[in-house]
Amino acid sequence: MTKPTATTNGRTPLALERYRKTIAPALMQEFKHRNAMATAKLEKIVLNMGCGEAAHDAKVLEAAQRDLGLIAGQRPLVTRAKKAISNFKIKEHDPIGCKVTLRRRRMYEFLDRLVNVALPRIRDFRGLSPNGFDEGGNYSFGLKEHTIFPEIQVDRVQFPLGMDVTFVIRAQSRDEATALLKGFGMPFAHKGTGQ
């Protein structure tokens, strides 16, 4: 497996700088927080690439691990089936995908690349659905193809795979979590439209 590209280079990621200088003060003012620690904050980003075919073909899992490692900049963890599913011929503990949890610098660098490089490369992109928030204010969405990331050489991809992206956010309300992601430039669609 090729070594994932290192993303940390000594400089503060642009998205983190924007959060500290612009987004956090604006959120404090808008939501009337007296304490800076009460302001909404991005805690981690989880990338999950499911490939049920991996249970039957090790090459699919290998390709998913390699590509997710390139996108995230760190080695992915293999996810395994918690229980057997006979309809899909999957046994308990079979490998079914891989995932990566990004924190701190790598998280902000990934967010910057996602918003400014990857999402604009989606054909006929109309914005992300604003309905992907859960009760805690965390936001999840799916990508149909992982080839939108510039780290992936499209001509070398044998197995086009989708992926799920989850933003784990510490916020006091769903509105504040939405405002945080909008501050980072997350392109939400207007109600009724969406990817």
List the domain boundaries for the chain.
40-183
Q: Please say whether the beta carbons of 60 and 54 come within 8 A.
A: yes
Please give the mean pLDDT across all residues of the chain.
76
Could you tell me the two tokens for 150? 């510039």
22 has pLDDT over 50: yes
Tens digits of per-residue pLDDT, 147-165? Answer: 777 777 776 777 777 888 8
Could you tell me the two tokens for 100? 């990566």
The CA distance from 172 to 22, in Å, is 19
Q: Please say whether the beta carbons of 176 and 54 come within 8 A.
A: no
Looking at residue 178, its pLDDT comes to 84
Specify the range with the lowest mean pLDDT, choosing from 66-70, 92-96, 166-170.
Answer: 92-96
Looking at residue 118, its pLDDT comes to 76
The CA distance from 137 to 135, in Å, is 6
173 has pLDDT over 60: yes
CATH class, range 40-183: alpha beta
Specify the range with the lowest mean pLDDT, choosing from 4-8, 15-19, 23-27, 168-172.
Answer: 4-8
Find the distance separating the first CA and the last CA of the chain, reported in whole Å: 33
User: pTM score, two decimals?
Assistant: 0.75
Tens digits of per-residue pLDDT, 86-121? Answer: 555 565 656 677 788 888 888 888 888 888 777 777
- In the beta sheet, which residues pair with residue 99? 48, 77
- Would you place residue 193 in the very low, low, confident or very high pLDDT band (cuts 50, 70, 90)? very low
> Which of 181, 174, 188, 175 has its CA nearest to residue 136?
174
Mean pLDDT of 23-43: 81
195 has pLDDT over 60: no
Q: How many residues does the chain have?
A: 195
> Which of 104, 107, 144 has its CA nearest to residue 124?
144
